[in-house]
Amino acid sequence: MTPREKFIKCLKREPITGRVPHFELVFFLTMEVLGKVHPQHRNYSQWDQMSAREQELHIRDIASCYVDIAKIYGHSAIFFQTSLSNFAFNIRVMQKIREISGDTYFIMMHGDPTFGIPDGDTMMEFSRQMYEEEDALKAIEQKNVEDCLFWAEEYARHPGLLDGVALCSDYCFNTNPFFSPGIFEDLIAPYLAKVTKGYHDAGLYVIKHTDGNINPIVEQMVQCGPDALHSLDPQGGVDLKEIKQKFGDRVCLIGNVNCGLLQTGTEEACAEDVRRSLREGMPGYGYIFSTSNCVYTGLDLSRYELMHSIWEREGNYPDDNRFTP
C-alpha cells in the first residue's frame, strides 16, 4: 500500500496496519534540510520574463523540494502552495510532482471560501459588518464558494493530479472562536457545507484546518461534512482523546502535537507530548499524525526530528489490526 493509499484509508476511517500516516500542512525548514528556500517564500515577480527552459528548471526544483521533504520525513501527503497564483503554473508543478513521485503521495491545495479571523487593520470594520451588513458578507462568501468550485472543475480536467483540498481559514483564537456559535451557524457553516459538498462531488477529499479553541463550534464543523479536521490545537484547549470519543466515528483527526512545547519545552516534555498524541489518536484508526500547526520558520529542526523519530519507532499498528495503546 502506498503512502497515498494509506492516507486515504485514514481519511475514510478504515483500519490500517503498519505506521500511522504522517504529514505537515507546511514544512518551512527546507533551507536547513535541503539548502533551498521554501516555494512559498520565493519571489516570482519575473516569472513571465523567464525563458521556457528557466521556467522548467524552476518547476522541477519546486516539485523536487516538496517530494524530497516527503521522502526524508516519511510524509504521506504534500500540501502544494507557492507565492505565485497562476493556474497553468500550478498544473505544471503538480504534473512534475507526479512525474517524479508517481502516485506515492496524496496531493492537496488550499481552497477555503469561508471567512476567517480578520487582521488587525480590518477587524473592527468586519465585526460591524457581521451585525449591520450580514447579507453583503453572505453574498461575498457565496461568490467565493462559486469561484472555488469553478477552479475545482478546472483542476478535474487534469485527472490524477489533485486528491484533496485543505480549507485553511482560521476561525479561532486560543481562548475562543472569533465567531460565536450563533454567528458561525448563520455566516460560516452554510458555505463551509456547500463548498465541502461541491469538492466531494468533484471527487476531492476535504481537510478542514483551523487553529485555536474549536470546542464551541466543533459539532457544527463536523456537521459540514469534511473528511478530516486539522490541527486540533492543544494550546487552544482541544483534547484529542475527548474529540476522538465524540467525533472519531464521523471524521478523521489530524494533528495535536503541541507546537508550543516543540519550540520552548524541554526534550522530555516534547517526547511525552508526542507519545500522548499517538496514544490518544491511534486507537480506532482515523488518525493522521502531525504537529498542531506546521513546521514553521524558527522552529528548531532538532525538535521536529525528535518528534519524527518517536513516530517512526512507536507510531505503528500491528499486522492483525488489533491495536492496544
Collect all residues with Cβ–Cβ distance below 8 Å to 57 and sequence separation of at least 6.
none
For the entire predicted model, the pTM comes to 0.96
Residue range 221-240: mean pLDDT, rounded: 98
Where do the structural domains in the chain lie, given as residue ranges? 3-312
pLDDT in tens, 242-300: 999 999 999 999 999 999 999 999 999 999 999 999 999 999 999 999 999 999 999 99
When pLDDT is cut at 50, 70 and 90, the band that residue 322 belongs to is low
CATH of 3-312, one of 3.10.450.50, 3.20.20.210, 3.40.50.300, 3.40.120.10: 3.20.20.210
The DSSP code for 20 is P
Q: What is the reported pLDDT for 83?
A: 82
The label of the residue with cell 516534555 reads 269
CB neighbour list of residue 43: distance below 8 Å, 6 or more residues apart: 83
User: Average per-residue pLDDT in the chain?
Assistant: 96
Decide: residue 102, CB within 10 A, 0-12 exposed, 13-18 middle, 19+ buried.
exposed
Q: What contacts 158, CB < 8 A, 6 or more positions away?
A: 91, 94, 95
Alpha-carbon distance of 91 to 102, in angstroms, equals: 15
CA distance 58 to 237: 42
